[in-house]
């Protein structure tokens, strides 16, 4: 039982050391308590792990939330540490499916039975490969809008990771040339005023 675990751990550590990757250092909301229908922004502090490149950086989000909750405006390097302007990130449902199918990715989402539970789930990735060659901390940001139907607020999980593609822009969890893994994870919540 210990050998498969050890082999998976060694493979994950090797992957983190060989690929450009960022791990969550901090996460803070511009407003922890908002009114129904209002938005709040999350600033995600990222720490580079290797000082090398390349890959698509992604942010995977899952929240227990009512219909109408949404996340958008996701940007990478908003502090302009590496790039001249923040890089917009796009939704990629295929990559989200792939990271959950890949047993070695380490991506877990909420890990909850979803029967009868409303879950908002989305993955956002950079539109091109990113680098951590300057080996400096940087920021990513996203905006979450709570629906009018929320009661109490929302709780969820935010994961960060990297995907190196074999060139066809199709995430393939079973391919030896496609590597995808989560390098950081945090639980978080936003509350509603008046609840």
- CA separation (Å) from 49 to 21, 123, 132, 156, 169? 6, 21, 8, 25, 24
Residue 195 pLDDT level (bands cut at 50, 70, 90): low
Tokens of 22: 């960022």
Residue 72 pLDDT level (bands cut at 50, 70, 90): very high
Name the nearest CA neighbour of 75 among 146, 165, 139, 27: 139
Residue 9 pLDDT level (bands cut at 50, 70, 90): very low
- Interval 123-159: pLDDT, tens: 999 999 887 777 788 999 999 999 888 888 899 999 9
Percent of the chain topping pLDDT 70: 84
CB atoms under 10 Å from CB of 52, counted, come to 16
Identify the pLDDT of residue 86: 95
Cα angle 64-69-72, degrees, rounded to a multiple of 5: 115
pLDDT at 21 over 60: yes
Identify the pLDDT of residue 95: 96
Host H or E run for residue 180:
strand 179-192
Give backbone dihedrals phi and psi of 71, rounded to 5 degrees, phi first: -120, 135
Percent of the chain topping pLDDT 90: 50
pLDDT at 174 over 80: no
Cβ–Cβ under 8 Å, residues 195 and 152: yes
Counted domains in the chain: 1
Mean pLDDT computed over 98-103: 91
Q: Lowest mean pLDDT: which of 10-14, 74-78, 164-168?
A: 10-14
pLDDT: is 150 or 84 the higher one? Answer: 84
Can you give the CATH number for the domain in which 167 is found? 2.60.40.1510
Ramachandran sector of residue 139 (left: φ over 0; alpha: ψ -120 to 50; beta: rest): beta
Q: Which domain holds residue 23?
A: 2-192
- Interval 29-67: pLDDT, tens: 999 999 888 999 999 999 987 655 578 999 999 999 988
What's the CA gap between 114 and 186, in Å, rounded?
20
Residue 8 pLDDT level (bands cut at 50, 70, 90): very low
- Average confidence score pLDDT of the chain: 84
The answer, yes or no, to whether the previous bond of 54 is cis (omega within 30 of 0) is yes
Cβ–Cβ under 8 Å, residues 86 and 143: no
């Amino acid at each position: 039982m210990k050998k498969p675990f050890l082999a998976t751990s060694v493979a994950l550590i090797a992957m983190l050391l060989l690929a450009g990757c960022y791990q969550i250092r901090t996460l803070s909301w511009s407003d922890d308590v908002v009114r129904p229908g209002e938005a709040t922004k999350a600033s995600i502090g990222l720490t580079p792990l290797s000082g090398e490149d390349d890959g698509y950086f992604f942010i995977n989000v899952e929240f227990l939330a009512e219909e109408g909750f949404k996340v958008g405006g996701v940007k990478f390097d908003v502090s302009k540490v590496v790039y001249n302007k923040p890089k917009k990130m796009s939704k990629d449902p295929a990559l989200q499916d792939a990271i959950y199918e890949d047993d070695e990715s380490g991506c877990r989402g909420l890990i909850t039975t979803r029967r009868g539970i409303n879950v908002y789930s989305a993955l956002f990735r950079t539109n091109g490969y990113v680098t951590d060659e300057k080996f400096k901390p940087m920021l990513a940001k996203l905006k979450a809008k709570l629906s009018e139907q929320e009661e109490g607020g929302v709780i969820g999980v935010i994961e960060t990771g990297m995907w190196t593609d074999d060139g066809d822009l199709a995430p393939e969890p079973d391919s030896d040339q496609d590597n995808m893994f989560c390098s950081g994870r945090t639980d978080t919540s936003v509350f509603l005023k008046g609840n």
